[in-house]
Amino acid sequence: MSRFSKSILVLALAGASTAGFAFDKYQGIGRQATTAEVAAWDIDVRPDFKGLPKGSGNVERGQELFEEKCASCHGSFGESNEVFTPLIGGTTAEDIKNGRVGGFVKGDIPQRTTFTKVATISTVFDYIQRAMPWTAPKSLKPDDVYAILAYFLNLAEIVPGDFTLSDRNIADVQKLMPNRNGMTTDHGMWPGAPAKKGGIGNGGKPDVKNVACMKNCKAEVQIASTLPEYARTAHGELADQNRSFGPVRGTRTLGPEAAKKAANATTLELATKNGCMACHGVAGKIVGPGYNEVVARYKDQADAEGKLVAKVKNGGQGAWGSVPMPPNGHLPDEDIKTLVRWILSGAK
Amino acid sequence: MANPMKIRAANKDGVTEVKVLISHEMETGQRKDANGAIIPAWFITELSAKHGDKVVLQGEFGTAVSKNPYLAFKFKGGAKGEKVAVSWKDNKGDSRTDEATIA
């Protein structure tokens, strides 16, 4: 490439003309998205109804469609709480008048539903069109979405049963949404300038404040509070509920006795998993000797552990009768040692 | 007067499935309000469903039933265009009947 053509390219980019020029920079990589591809992707419907497709649908048609495609998960009345949270319910005529769901203001709302939360009907339109039905998203025509929305609005007692929702009256319906005044954008995650300066957010100020200590910091961390004695067991054994790796372990809330028991329980599990318990009882013979019998015979021998580890590993026959013990070479040595120690300590 | 029930009834292969969403507080009489006063019990005691003149379902409800109960049942018979009526009575003496056409 000559210096001359390079400068033309730079000029073209600086001129911010069509993206086609930008692609020339990456010859042979990718291609310009076609208008149809962009249109298929660009389906969002915004709260000012930008992007809303033309169409209409009535409550009756919506009910048919809902029974057919939606009710199996959402319930016939959008009331089901089995698969997803309910769509409809929890709103009153008062809420529709105020534009704020009273249950949120008083804090006594028993169950949030889509219609108690959502502030804009366009959002529901967008979501259904984009993501529903679960098994076949984007399969609904705009008229279908209008019809289903009309059915929702009727279930939520916002519109009468003979209502037809369309792109022309959806803005009027928006003025009846029960939680239309319930949305706040005074959070750092909303982009742009603060609301006072014509933006929609708070200018990027985070919701939480964490100031790093730069001077006169505490030299040492002191534990200021601990679980009171009576509350230690309130949630069971915390040690078992924390990860076994990483810097943090749960404390043994049930005390050292329980810790020992828990350790033994896992060994019993290990013994069961590896088939030991099929032939050996903890307190009696099954096919092979019971662990109590093993302990009785070996307890005074100094090298009992080593001897038994070898026996478990290689198997044996004769010491307890004619039934052979199969070799267990496939077990990790560590597991065999754990098992033998557990047996010798009484297998409790 | 209580809010209307929502009823759907559909016939398929000679069996009519009815789904009902009842609008009722269903207070158990065990809850207390913010001042510690007991909220008086208020619940549906009797419910029945009729297909024409024939009773197809009858039930005694109590405090164990949730607020705004959902009820679904099936009965043999029924045809498109016929009516199903559901009615309830509550312990305050209020009652309500709503009707739906079988689809």
Backbone dihedral angles phi then psi of residue A53, each to the nearest 5 degrees: -75, 155
- Give the whole-angstrom CA distance, residue A266 versus residue A240: 11
Pairing state of beta strands B44-51 and A284-285? unpaired
Minimum Cα–Cα distance from B8: chain A residue:
A76
How many helices (H) and strands (E) chain B has is answered by 0, 7
H or E stretch including A234?
A: none
Q: Does A79 contact B70 at a Cβ distance shorter than 8 Å?
A: yes
Outline where DSSP puts E strands in A99-229.
164-166
Please state, in angstroms and rounded to a whole number, the distance separating the CA atoms of residues A205 and A194.
9
CA angle A216, A221, A223 (to 5 degrees): 135
The H-assigned helical ranges of A89-141 are 93-98, 102-106, 114-117, 121-131
Nearest CB to B19: which of A76, A89, A155? A76
Give the span between the Cα atoms of A232 and A248, in whole angstroms.
17
Alpha-carbon A254 to chain mean position: 30
Q: What is the ipTM of this complex?
A: 0.72
Confidence of residue B91 (pLDDT cuts 50, 70, 90): very high
Confidence of residue A24 (pLDDT cuts 50, 70, 90): low
Half-sphere exposure of A195 (CA within 13 A, CB side): 9
Inter-chain residue contact A77 with B67, CB threshold 8 Å:
no
Contact assignment for B68 to A89 by CB distance below 8 Å: yes
Residues of A in contact with B7 (CB under 8 A): none
Query: Does residue A260 register a pLDDT over 80?
Result: no
Q: Where are the domains of chain B?
A: 6-101
Angle in degrees, CA A83, A85, A88, rounded to 5: 120
Q: What are phi and psi of A47, to 5 degrees?
A: -55, -25
Residues 6+ positions from B64 with CB-CB distance below 8 Å = none
Which CATH entry fits the domain spanning B6-101: 2.60.40.10, 3.30.590.10, 3.40.50.10330, 3.50.50.60?
2.60.40.10
pLDDT digit string, tens, across residues B52-85? 889 999 999 999 998 889 899 999 988 888 999 9
For B28, phi then psi, to 5°, come to -80, -20
Is the Cβ pair B6, A89 closer than 8 Å? no
Give residue B59's pLDDT.
93
Q: Which of residues 17-46 of B touch A (CB under 8 A)?
A: 19, 21
Under a CB-based contact definition with an 8 Å cutoff, are residues B47 and B12 in contact? no
Report chain B residues whose CB lies below 8 A from the CB of A89: 68
What structural domains and CATH numbers belong to chain A? 3-41 (no CATH), 56-174 (1.10.760.10), 257-344 (1.10.760.10)
Cβ <8 Å between B70 and A75: yes
**Could you give the CA distance from residue A211 to residue A197 in angstroms, rounded to a whole number?**
27
pLDDT in tens, B7-59: 888 888 889 989 999 989 899 999 888 888 999 999 999 999 999 889 999 99
pLDDT of residue A243: 76
pLDDT band at A6 (very low <50, low <70, confident <90, very high): very low
